[in-house]
Chains A and B, each alone.
Chain A
Amino acid sequence: MTANPSTDAPRAGAQTASGVAPLLRRLRDEGRPALVGYLPVGFPSVEQSIEAALTLVEHGVDVLELGVPYTDPVMDGPTIQRAAEQALEAGFRVSSVFDAVRATAPTGTPTLVMTYWNIVVRYGVDAFAAALAAAGGAGLITPDLIPDEASEWVAASDAHGLDRVFLVAPSSTPERLQLTARASRGFVYAASTMGVTGARASVGPRARQLVEATRERGGDLVCVGLGVSTGDQAAEVGAYADGVIVGSAFVRPLLGDAPWSERLRALGQVADELAAGVAQARSGSVS
């Protein structure tokens, strides 16, 4: 493996100028987890994806996660694959991501970008970080970049004050949990289950174990993603996680050919349900 990120790098949750950690910590003090909402930029068009992101903000999403459509999204299930494919067919260009971040940043809702690594490699790691920071973005979530390969990104994210959210999985060893927790900034993304994105009937017990194990290994802020699609699931996960990450459940109402205004309304309803779920996550009424 190449150089590991320096072990004295800021821990997950360390303060940065524009990062998401201060918000997650404030919400934790208020007694609830954050709702993190994913949408792919450019689906079905760049303008509409921005409208959809702003709809999520209006309906209670605390942190936006804007995805970069990619030809080979190996961590995504059919729903997000379909949306990404449509975005690419519609002529999506990577520079649109920065436009989208510029459009959402004024809301005050922190915006992370989720991207497969080759997009950043091709753009230039430092150039991508600079453009994202200039647009007002909070940082990157990198589903196919592990800290072992991330020395260039660690340097660029330090230089530009960006969060770097790495993933942990139920298969991660304690050593790797520690490595990943130390390399991350903003939060650690805990994949609730072994699998790709997509709604699931239940989130399962491994997510809670993973969050606890990640905290034991130094991860201060840990958010859970993969498979959360209902308010009840959000409440269940939010009882122990610092944030609940929802993707496919937000993309699904935007698929299809209903009038756009109806699709946006359906998206808002889904967001309302999930926001209600996280609001009562620690109330004891749902466990």
Chain B
Amino acid sequence: MPDLPSTPPEEPAFLNPLLQTQQGPYFGEYGGRFVPEALVAALDEVEAEYRKAVDDPAFRDELARLLKDYVGRPSPLTEVPRFAEHAGGSGVRVFLKREDLNHTGSHKINNVLGQALLVKRMGKTRVIAETGAGQHGVATATAAALLDLECVVYMGEEDTQRQALNVARMRLLGAEVVPVTIGTRTLKDAINEALRDWVANVDSTHYLLGTVTGPHPFPEMVRDFHKIIGEEARDQLRERTGALPDAVVACVGGGSNALGIFNAFLDEPDVALYGFEAGGEGIESGRHAARFAGTSAPGVLHGARSYLLQDADGQTLPSHSISAGLDYPSVGPAHAWLHDLGRATYRPITDEEAMDAFALLCRTEGIIPAIESSHALAGALQVGREAAARGESPTILVNLSGRGDKDVATAARWFGMLDHDHAAAADDSSSASDAPATPTTGGDQ
């Protein structure tokens, strides 16, 4: 059950104050509020309402009820022994936190329901959201239908093509989907457009931001709505193994699922934390979204200071990933902070490594993961193999943040599983069907 704000851990903390209860606007030197003045009043309103709500039993009960009866929480913890055989051999245990089994198919719904209840409390009638892979947009459209809110979702035109199924889902749920046709036409441009909408309509509208970035209070608030992931997993794993995990592994785009599962372990010094970002076609190719790989520098984007892919002039560089949900040039400020503290380790996973892990989980365990989450699975294989090489037998907890239904067309094309006609139908251009095994983002070729 959600417990907001966090209860202290049972173990004594190794740092004071606790990392897991860090409040905004700053996480170390990261975060803040780099926004037009027009939005400050709305951000103050959200923050004030949030702080009131977390102390209000009625709010907590309503959110807990929705998470249980509507989302299906607690999400299961599944041990995957056949997959673990590939992660360093005998003795290595891998457990998946099954956020893919939540209603709407990913962790995104946790935060969306929390914010949507705040919207009702604030008396606003309209929500807007950005989406990359479409998972946050679908979750927002779902909550808007449930709570009778008008909903507009901004989505980069490139992403509307590679995630066409999710566009249809949002429209079925009654949301308006607006393809964004300026800039790189991906997640970052969708956020720009959502911010412009919010400035113009802030009286009636809440911007239901979908990850742990953006201006204060979003990084803190979104973390708090997702920290239930790690809290459940910690208790489930203790019950199953009698211990904490040795390593916790997640993919990092903006970073909400990662922070959600990390948070319960931040103040547990014996638990190693790993975030895997999109290495795209490799760091040296320049086509990636690896903010921590040494090619980025701290900067300001979308209201927060954090690590940022940018050129020498401070212009945002386009990111690349086969997974739309990780295709973002910045990262939540809490991750920048944890990176600099050395509390979490961040590494890139290439498109190819992610797709190999995707296939492996499908065939060893009968679970089709989101391509985003497949970056975490590939990371778990690395972490397990490295530990095994040191003679260790770790227990690895992986956040399986989403399911892969939306990615079936991309994966089928990647693995060459479509005949010519189907490949052509799955992709407007004919080039993908000519070379079905060629890495493709599924819509930009």
Contacts and interface: CB of A to CB of B under 8 A. Distances in A.
User: Which of B182, B199, B297 has the most A CB atoms < 10 Å from its CB?
Assistant: B199
B139 to A, nearest CB: 24
Nearest to B310: A122
Contacts of B301: 72, 118
Nearest to A78: B182
Contact of A122 (B25, B201, B314): B314
B27 to A, nearest CB: 13
A70 B32 contact: no
A270 B225 CA distance: 52
Main secondary structure of the interface of A (DSSP, over half): loop
Considering residues B34, B302, B308, which has the most beta carbons from chain A within 10 angstroms of its beta carbon?
Answer: B34
A194 B300 contact: no
Interface in A1-26: 1-2
Interface residues of B, number: 40
B313 interface: yes
Interface residues of A, number: 42
Contacts of A81: 182
B156 to A, nearest CB: 13
A1 B286 CA distance: 35
Contacts of A171: 37-42, 202
A149 B34 contact: yes
A74 B39 CA distance: 12
B372 to A, nearest CB: 23
A131 B314 CA distance: 16
B192 interface: yes
Interface string B320-346: 000000000000000000000000000
Among A77, A121, A173, A176, which residue has the most Cβ atoms of chain B within 10 A? A121
A71 B37 contact: no
B408 to A, nearest CB: 32
Contact of A169 (B32, B38, B300, B303): B38
B195 interface: yes
B58 interface: no
25 contacts: A1-B25, A71-B316, A74-B192, A74-B199, A74-B302, A75-B36, A75-B196, A77-B196, A88-B315, A93-B313, A118-B299, A118-B314, A122-B297, A144-B303, A146-B33, A148-B33, A169-B37, A169-B38, A172-B37, A172-B38, A172-B41, A176-B40, A191-B36, A195-B199, A196-B196
The 5 closest A-B pairs by CB, nearest first: A122-B314, A169-B38, A195-B200, A171-B41, A118-B300
